[in-house]
Amino acid sequence: MKGSDMKKVLAFSLMLIAILCAAACKSEESESITAPATDVSGTQSDEEALTSFDSQEASSSAEDIKASDAEDTPSETPTPTPTPFPELTLYLRDLFAEHGMKCGTAITSTNITFEKSAELIDKQFNSITLGNGMKPDAIINKTESIKAGDIVVKFPMDTVNMLDWAKEHGMALRGHTLIWHEQTPSWIFYEDFDTSKSLVSREVMLSRMESFIRQVFEEIEARGYSDMLYAYDVANECVLETGELRDTKWRQVIGDDYLKYAFTYARKYAPEHVDLYYNDYNEQQKTVAFKNLIETLKDDNGNYLLDGIGLQAHLYTNDSLMLYLVSLDKLAETGLKLQLTELDICLGSYNNYAKASEYNFKLQAKMYMDLIGGIFERVDAGTLNMDAVTIWGVTDGLSWRAGGSPLLFDNNYQPKPSFYGVMQMKDEAGITW
Ligand code: GLA
């Protein structure tokens, strides 16, 4: 082959290689464009779809919009960022204030870490309960207790941060809770705080109980939270549907009168303006049990040792609202204050959540509307002494009963029909019957 021919062949080969390379790259590119990015096979359960919808799908669709904008729009044209949080200008706390009441929520630090969530809580609510932050296992310090030979109360940083946030945002505070069978370290009931030793005597436990309650109120005072505190769940979930006292360590060690002591100590150390509550669940089934228990909590002059009854109000859309309101009326006859302290209404029934469908959300909205409407009517008529309703959480996904979608806001902080139900806005809630 001549030198010039040789050059031609070489040039031709190089060209061929270049063409083949380009074709190969193109086909890789088109494969990656057409390959499905997500599994759209529909294998998610309703519950998974529900819990993942708000948090993941919404954010990925926002990302999708940004990505396609970036491809199609010349770079010099600014792309409007979609705002997933349109301003809500209706406020729960304003509506409750019209009836002389507060509207509260329960928080963990997650709720106030995210700006949008913190902003929503700040705007909608004016009372805070710490979901876990003031429970015995959060505030009793084991090392210090062993050192001191007495229960030692020390609010951890997380608790202080949440309380500081609540104070800065002008929130009122519900204390929750002192005497409970759960989230209470078992070692506080034993000799030397050692569970391998024997349970302490009634006298020692009474002294530990008094010391515990005193220190909680001292800590609240020392850290500047006394003024915001307006109610305290001194005791939680102590009675069974049968009317019997629950068999707890407090009861085993001190005896059946342990609640009388708890309320007496709380009255001794709590600021005078703070209402003391007995708090429990299944109130519609436990109405008589509640009433009987409360009758035992009186001083020698026959005066109640407590100011109010806390009704947790963990309800279901299948519950009978009529029965619930009858039970409210019965308990109101005690003359004590009542509060709904942990309100949430799951779709469906106990152990059998219903689907998160449009229809079920409307049923839920109707139940919220009738419950809160019924309370407003009674409060306005003076037959019910209720100064606050607390909803147990903010968005469905972070609820302790997320599977039942029980709250007022979805995971994008958007109001659900249930929000409009509480606001007594029938049309906006889509309740057309
Ligand atoms: C009970 C307690 C609350 C909370 C809920 C579950 O109702 O009183 O503090 O622990 O259970 O979240």
How do residues 74-105 score in pLDDT, each as one tens digit? 344 455 444 444 578 999 999 999 999 999 99
Give the mutation target among 277, 342, 390, 399 for probing the ligand 1 site: most ligand atoms within 8 A of CB: 342
Rounded-to-integer distance, Cα 99 and Cα 96, Å? 5
User: How many CB atoms lie under 10 A from the CB of residue 123?
Assistant: 17
Percent of the chain beyond pLDDT 70? 80
Give pLDDT, residue 49. Answer: 30
How far, in Å, from the CA of 384 to the mean position of ligand 1?
Answer: 25
Give pLDDT, residue 155. Answer: 98
**Mean pLDDT calculated for residue range 347-358:** 97
Give pLDDT, residue 87. Answer: 74
The closest residue, in CA terms, to atom 7 on ligand 1 is 312
Rounded-to-integer distance, Cα 379 and Cα 104, Å? 17
Phi, psi of 300 (to 5 degrees): -65, -20
Instruction: For ligand 1, say whether the CB of 400 is within 6 Å of any of its atoms.
Output: yes
Give pLDDT, residue 6. Answer: 46
The closest alpha carbon to 316, from 306, 324, 308, belongs to: 324
Long-range CB pairs of 54-59 (<8 Å, 24+ gap) are: 54/395, 54/396, 54/397, 54/410, 54/411, 54/412, 55/397, 55/411, 58/84, 58/411, 58/412
Give pLDDT, residue 29. Answer: 33
Output the six-digit token pair for 346. Answer: 């799951």
How far, in Å, from the CA of 31 to the mean position of ligand 1?
Answer: 52
pLDDT beyond 90 at 38: no
Taking the CA atoms of residue 274, residue 124, residue 136 and residue 306 in that order, the dihedral angle to the nearest 10 degrees is: 30
Return mean pLDDT, the chain: 85
Output the six-digit token pair for 58. Answer: 């919404």
Rounded-to-integer distance, Cα 169 and Cα 187, Å? 36
> Which helix (DSSP H) or strand (DSSP E) does residue 316 occupy?
strand 314-316
How far, in Å, from the CA of 68 to the mean position of ligand 1?
Answer: 45
CB 59 within 8 A of CB 116: no
Give pLDDT, residue 34. Answer: 28
The closest residue, in CA terms, to atom 9 on ligand 1 is 131
Start-to-end CA span in the chain (Å)? 94
- Please work out, in degrees rounded to the nearest 5, the angle formed at the alpha carbon of residue 33 by the alpha carbons of 27 and 37: 135
Give pLDDT, residue 28. Answer: 36
Instruction: For ligand 1, say whether the CB of 399 is within 6 Å of any of its atoms.
Output: no
Give pLDDT, residue 433. Answer: 75
Of the listed ranges 65-79, 84-98, 378-392, the least confidently predicted one is: 65-79
pLDDT beyond 90 at 374: yes
Residue with the larger pLDDT of the pair 406 and 81: 406
Residue with the larger pLDDT of the pair 351 and 87: 351
CB 151 within 8 A of CB 207: no
For the CA of 392, the nearest atom of ligand 1: 12
Instruction: For ligand 1, say whether the CB of 396 is within 6 Å of any of its atoms.
Output: no
The closest residue, in CA terms, to atom 8 on ligand 1 is 236
How far, in Å, from the CA of 72 to the mean position of ligand 1?
Answer: 51
Question: Residue 12's pLDDT band (boundaries 50, 70, 90)?
Answer: very low
For the CA of 233, the nearest atom of ligand 1: 8
Instruction: For ligand 1, say whether the CB of 129 is within 6 Å of any of its atoms.
Output: no
User: How many CB atoms lie under 10 A from the CB of residue 116?
Assistant: 11
pLDDT beyond 60 at 252: yes
Rounded-to-integer distance, Cα 379 and Cα 337, Å? 11
pLDDT digits (tens, 9 = 90+) for 152-188: 999 999 999 999 999 999 999 999 999 999 999 999 9
Percent of the chain beyond pLDDT 90? 79
pLDDT beyond 70 at 121: yes
Give pLDDT, residue 65. Answer: 30
Rounded-to-integer distance, Cα 177 and Cα 139, Å? 11
Q: Per-residue DSSP letters for 75-132? A: TTSPPPPP-S-PPP---HHHHHHTTT-EEEEEE-HHHHHSHHHHHHHHHH-SEEEESS
pLDDT beyond 50 at 54: no
Rounded-to-integer distance, Cα 363 and Cα 303, Å? 42
For the chain, the residue count is 433
Instruction: For ligand 1, say whether the CB of 312 is within 6 Å of any of its atoms.
Output: yes
pLDDT digits (tens, 9 = 90+) for 203-243: 999 999 999 999 999 999 999 999 999 999 999 999 999 99
Give pLDDT, residue 79. Answer: 52
- Please work out, in degrees rounded to the nearest 5, the angle formed at the alpha carbon of residue 129 by the alpha carbons of 125 and 133: 140
Give pLDDT, residue 60. Answer: 31
- For the chain, the maximum distance between any two Cα atoms, rounded to a whole number of angstroms, is 125
The residues that are catalytic are 237, 342
Of the listed ranges 5-14, 108-117, 245-254, 410-419, the least confidently predicted one is: 5-14
Question: Hey, what amino acid is at 353?
Answer: Y
pLDDT beyond 90 at 57: no
Question: Residue 319's pLDDT band (boundaries 50, 70, 90)?
Answer: very high
pLDDT beyond 60 at 414: yes
Give pLDDT, residue 13. Answer: 47
pLDDT beyond 70 at 394: yes
The closest residue, in CA terms, to atom 12 on ligand 1 is 400
Instruction: For ligand 1, say whether the CB of 341 is within 6 Å of any of its atoms.
Output: no
Phi, psi of 20 (to 5 degrees): -60, -40
Instruction: For ligand 1, say whether the CB of 282 is within 6 Å of any of its atoms.
Output: no
pLDDT beyond 70 at 141: yes
Instruction: For ligand 1, say whether the CB of 342 is within 6 Å of any of its atoms.
Output: yes
Give pLDDT, residue 86. Answer: 57
